[in-house]
Structure 1
Amino acid sequence: MTATHRETRARKEARDLIHRNVDRIRRMEQWSKRKRNLGERIAEPVAQFCGRMSFIWLHAAFFAGWIAWNALPDLPHFDPYPFTFLTLCVSLEAIFLSAFILISQNQEMRLTERRNLLELQLDLLCEQENTKMLKLIHAMAQKLGVSDEDDPEMAALLEAVRPETIGHEIETAFAAH
């Protein structure tokens, strides 16, 4: 097998690996979306629409039309100044929109929390694998007589990582400030 053929094969394997990983993430996202209840399914598109500039322009045009209709002379006024009915409608809309947005944010927070837990689990597994590989390499280096026993950093890296210890250190450091 030529070097070019190996490189081409390695690139294809890397693309395939990336494709499989992206597909796994896509399936996880789909699973998460299927687990949502009806309210969460409704809240997401409402919150997405309300977060667009078109929502602002639509409201600006609607309010301008409402106020103009009820302020201009020679038109029948269904909500004369001070536009009490408009105030009621806007207040009710604000209540419902804020509820939809909060539901959408809660769903996103749960999804982010699950992703963070998955990432933490994968990071811990990688750390355990790296520690194991480092121990094996260190043992091989000792057999070959190239080990540096006086390296305190190497000794620290050969120790298994204790997430609870690191978490405690972080909490202590941030509590002090």
Structure 2
Amino acid sequence: MPHDDHEVLAPILDRNIRALVERRRTADRTKGWQERLADAITRFTGSLPFVYVHLALFGGWILWNLPGSPLPRFDAQYVILAMAASVEAIFLSTFILISQNRMQALADERADLNVQVSLLSEHEVTRLIRLVKRMAERMGVEESGSPELDELERDVRPEKVLEHLQHVNDSGPGEPR
């Protein structure tokens, strides 16, 4: 039998989703007019109506200026068309880069949040392992002697992980680490 979304999702997950959506809406509301303009232009240029407009404009321009056309030719060598297309390409690529820069900033922000959540989760799991190990000791339960358990009990130092990752990247494949 089908469930509605509120029955399926845990309340904390629902709260987190709503918080993320509200944050995105707030960020959209606080954009300046220049960002809104760049977004609108980028959104339109990435759409099929933009392609259709260009097909009609460029197709009409070319047909108008064909040698056999009964209309008076104003761009026989298509120099004006080429110049207009080049200038348009410059501006469109600029708007796309503006949007990509903003998307990259948002991606960096999300990556930072993911790192923080992962570190918090790792810290909590480490604490739980220590707690369960102490409980097992008090209850007289023997552990399996897994060497990984001792490793998992230690806190991860993010700066040490990054240093090691950099070292491994710098050493190259097949070199001693």
TM-score range normalised by the length of the shorter chain:
0.7 to 0.9
- Identity, in percent, stands at 34
1:129 aligns with 2:140: no
- The correspondence for 2:109, drawn from 104, 114, 132, is 114
RMSD: 2.1
- The correspondence for 2:71, drawn from 63, 71, 75, is 75
- The correspondence for 1:86, drawn from 69, 72, 81, is 81
In structure 2, the CA distance between the partners of 1:13 and 1:73, relative to structure 1 (3 Å rule), is closer
Match of 2:142, SS? coil
Alpha-carbon distance in 1 for matches of 2:10, 2:155: 33
Q: How does 1:150-165 map to 2 (within 5 A)?
A: 150-165=145-160
TM-score by length of 2: 0.85
Structure 2 unmatched runs, 5+:
173-177
* Corresponding residue of 2:162: 167
Deviation at 1:43, TM superposition (A): 1.2
Runs of 4 or more consecutive aligned structure 1 residues displaced over 6 Å after TM superposition: none
Deviation at 1:32, TM superposition (A): 2.6
Structure 1 unmatched runs, 5+:
1-7
- Structure with bigger helix share is 1
Counterpart AA for 1:64: G
Structure of greater relative contact order (alpha carbons < 8 Å, 6+ residues apart)? 1
1:50 aligns with 2:36: no
Alpha-carbon distance in 1 for matches of 2:98, 2:69: 43
* Corresponding residue of 1:27: 22
